[in-house]
Chains A and B, each alone.
Chain A
Amino acid sequence: MKDRLMDFDEALERYEPVLGFEVHVELGTRTKMFSAAPNPAHPDHHDAAPNTLIDPLSLGLPGSLPVVNEEAVRYSISLGLALGCEIAESSRFARKNYYYPDVPKNYQISQYDEPIAFEGEVEIELADGRRFQIPIERAHMEEDAGKLTHVGGATGRIQGAEYSLVDYNRAGVPLVEIVTKPIVGAERDAPELAKAYVAAIRDIVLSLGISEARMERGNLRCDANVSLRPRGQERFGTRTETKNVNSMRSVERAVRYEIQRQAAILAAGGTIVQETRHWHEDTGRTSAGRPKSDADDYRYFPEPDLLPVQPDRALVEELRAALPEQPVARKRRLKAEWGFTDLEFQDVVNADLLATVEATVAAGAAPGSARKWWTGEIARLANDRGVEASSLVSPEHVAELQRLVDGGALTDRLARQALEGVIAGEGSPTEVVAARGLQVVSDESALVAAVDEALAAQPDVLQKIRDGKVQAAGAVIGAVMKAMRGQADAARVREIVLERASQA
């Protein structure tokens, strides 16, 4: 069924959007949260076959008992600190009870009343540079659930399925769930803010090195809460929670969609049902899931199989001191240092090339040159091959290539050929230039001879140049560049052409 939507601008005129997010981050530890089974979120185990990263605890077999992964606790504390949170003096686990085949124990171990981290704030920046402070309610530790594949049935993923297949590799993967407080004041920036918030969490997680944070792999998952309240009303409206939002762009679209959908319902005198909604990437819509009331009856109680986690304060301070520069601050600093325009900088950020360009600059390239290589030729080649630009060539090689251009040894065109050689694995730029014979012909006498030959072959052009029609020189320059197989500096060739034409 197709939802009625209100025009976005009209919706914003009549209602104020209030947002909230729950972001799940899979930690990239070697093992699971409560057992020594290998963690599929660790790079070593990406391609594991179903049900090969499991042990008795992953399956909830009788007699198996959980033991907390100390590295996962450290990662969680670091993340909590990076979110500006307090780290609890004492924190404990709780059972969240529900019956579904993705949790074989019939409960998920999570945290309820004593999360590891609480009361934080994250600064985010919109594309135009405006900043927002996102209030963080809590960040708690828990375990991921297994993965279900629904098979059969005519009407789609879940409804009408004849049976389901379960892979428990993901069961027990360490998770941190980050919960915001209600976010007010975003107004018409609400969709963009949603995207910027998830991007900020991703950047923080990456800067800490605690997760690969790839949304398409499910390392980072976002549930977006949206509610509307009529202008002037104090009380929050009824919210919906949209799940299954697997890219930053989808987060933005899903929030926009919910604002428009809810506004249409409210304006027609209807009421919003508090429910889970599913985002559909293909249609760009959300659809109703289960109503909240029943399924939220999780009967949390303290996990009797685990003891409290009481982080040593010295460890907390050690982790605080080791925090990297906040990604938002880092971006601001790099943009200023590099002297890029908003657009230039955004190009780099959108292409996920910030660290790559930074490394290229560190290797000696001018920021502008580094940016041009990565967002230009290398991005094009990466796109052709369907891979990430940063996987094609190293920042050091790009800096070396640019040094050869700056030193006059390569033209831009030759440098592009050298780049292809480097990508093909033929060695460093210097080695490729030597092996392929790509140096710019700097032998003046060879250039002069080639120019004289070309002028002699095109006497009409020679006459035109002598008559002052300098643009006619192009034909001669082209002939010379061809004779030199492109390995000449075209500007220098032009100078010689004009010089020789006037002399002869």
Chain B
Amino acid sequence: MSEITREQVQHLAGLARIALTDDEVTSLTTELGAIVDAIAKVSEAVGPDVPATSHPVPLANVTRADVEGGTLTHEQAFAGAPSHDGERFRVSAILGEEQ
């Protein structure tokens, strides 16, 4: 059975800045539990001889040359911004600390 608890779901919701009702916490606990169980099944099927991968495509070293490309104008950049001062984005007062 899954190890996902209600407390973990609430904690995660807090980190993700999502407000959840009690009902939502209940259903997400069940759903996330099912996902974790499914992943655990996949892990069982994989033997120690299979190297871990983080990507389905067998590729590496996709890079670009260090050449400057275009930039956005202020008009473009602020087009979708709820608030700005003409030069910078304006966001609500920040509680807590910079990372």
Chain A residues at the B interface, C-beta cutoff of 8 Å: 29-31, 35-38, 49-56, 59, 67-73, 90, 92, 97-103, 108, 145, 148-150, 152-153, 158, 160-168, 276, 289-290, 295, 297, 299, 302-304, 306-310, 312
Query: Which residues from A are CB-within-8-Å of B59?
Result: 307
Complex contact B64–A68 (CB within 8 A): yes
Q: Besides the contacts A69-B63, A100-B94, A309-B63, what 20 more A-B pairs have beta carbons closer than 8 Å?
A: A37-B69, A49-B87, A51-B87, A67-B64, A72-B66, A90-B60, A148-B98, A152-B93, A158-B97, A158-B98, A164-B93, A166-B88, A166-B90, A166-B91, A295-B97, A297-B11, A304-B54, A307-B61, A307-B62, A310-B61
Would you give the shortest CB distance from B32 to chain A, in whole angstroms?
A: 13
Interface centre among B87, B88, B90 (most CB of A within 10 A): B88
Complex contact B74–A51 (CB within 8 A): yes
Over the window 62-99 of chain B, the binary record of Cβ atoms lying under 8 Å from chain A Cβ atoms (1 yes, 0 no) is: 11111111111010010000000101111111101111
Query: Which residues from A are CB-within-8-Å of B88?
Result: 50-51, 149, 165-167
Task: Give complex CA distance A100, B94 in Å.
Answer: 8
Complex contact A290–B89 (CB within 8 A): no
Complex contact A59–B60 (CB within 8 A): no
Task: Give complex CA distance A306, B11 in Å.
Answer: 28
Task: Give complex CA distance A131, B98 in Å.
Answer: 35
Chain A minimum-CB-distance residue to B74: A51
- Cβ of B55 within 8 Å of any chain A Cβ, yes or no, is yes
Complex contact A55–B72 (CB within 8 A): yes
Would you give the shortest CB distance from A37 to chain B, in whole angstroms?
A: 6
User: How many chain B residues have a CB neighbour from A under 8 Å?
Assistant: 36
Given the interface contacts A56-B72, A163-B93, does A302 sit within 8 Å of B62 by beta carbon? no
- Cβ of B15 within 8 Å of any chain A Cβ, yes or no, is yes
Q: Dominant SS at the A interface?
A: loop
Complex contact A67–B72 (CB within 8 A): no
Complex contact B70–A307 (CB within 8 A): no
Complex contact A30–B93 (CB within 8 A): no
Given the interface contacts A54-B72, A99-B16, A307-B55, does A289 sit within 8 Å of B97 by beta carbon? yes
Give 6 A-B contacts (CB < 8 Å), ordered by A residue: A36-B68, A90-B60, A158-B94, A165-B88, A165-B91, A167-B87
Complex contact B89–A166 (CB within 8 A): yes
- Cβ of B41 within 8 Å of any chain A Cβ, yes or no, is no
Query: Which residues from B are CB-within-8-Å of A31?
Result: 66-69
Chain A minimum-CB-distance residue to B54: A302
Q: Dominant SS at the B interface?
A: loop
Query: Sorted from nearest, which 8 A-B pairs have the closest CB atoms?
Result: A36-B69, A302-B54, A71-B66, A70-B63, A165-B88, A166-B89, A310-B60, A101-B91
Complex contact A97–B15 (CB within 8 A): yes
Would you give the shortest CB distance from B76 to chain A, in whole angstroms?
A: 9
Chain A minimum-CB-distance residue to B89: A166
Query: Which residues from A are CB-within-8-Å of B92?
Result: 163-164
Task: Give complex CA distance A312, B91 in Å.
Answer: 44
Would you give the shortest CB distance from B8 to chain A, in whole angstroms?
A: 11
Query: Which residues from B are CB-within-8-Å of A102?
Result: 98-99
Query: Which residues from A are CB-within-8-Å of B96?
Result: 100, 290, 295
Pick the contact of B61 from A36, A54, A309 — CB < 8 Å? A309
Complex contact B69–A304 (CB within 8 A): no
Complex contact B71–A70 (CB within 8 A): no
Interface centre among B69, B94, B98 (most CB of A within 10 A): B98
Complex contact B98–A165 (CB within 8 A): no
Task: Give complex CA distance A49, B91 in Å.
Answer: 19
Complex contact A99–B94 (CB within 8 A): no
Would you give the shortest CB distance from A167 to chain B, in whole angstroms?
A: 5
Complex contact A70–B60 (CB within 8 A): no
Task: Give complex CA distance A29, B64 in Å.
Answer: 13
Given the interface contacts A67-B64, A69-B66, A166-B88, does A295 sit within 8 Å of B94 by beta carbon? no
Chain A minimum-CB-distance residue to B87: A50
- Cβ of B57 within 8 Å of any chain A Cβ, yes or no, is yes
Complex contact A30–B72 (CB within 8 A): no
Task: Give complex CA distance A38, B59 in Å.
Answer: 27
Task: Give complex CA distance A38, B69 in Å.
Answer: 7
Chain B minimum-CB-distance residue to A290: B97
Task: Give complex CA distance A31, B89 in Å.
Answer: 22
Complex contact B99–A55 (CB within 8 A): no
Task: Give complex CA distance A193, B91 in Å.
Answer: 40
Task: Give complex CA distance A256, B97 in Å.
Answer: 24
Task: Give complex CA distance A29, B69 in Å.
Answer: 13
Chain A minimum-CB-distance residue to B94: A164
Complex contact B98–A59 (CB within 8 A): no
Complex contact B66–A98 (CB within 8 A): no
Task: Give complex CA distance A36, B63 in Å.
Answer: 11
Would you give the shortest CB distance from B64 to chain A, in whole angstroms?
A: 5
Query: Which residues from B are CB-within-8-Å of A38?
Result: 68, 71
Chain B minimum-CB-distance residue to A48: B71
Complex contact A307–B60 (CB within 8 A): yes
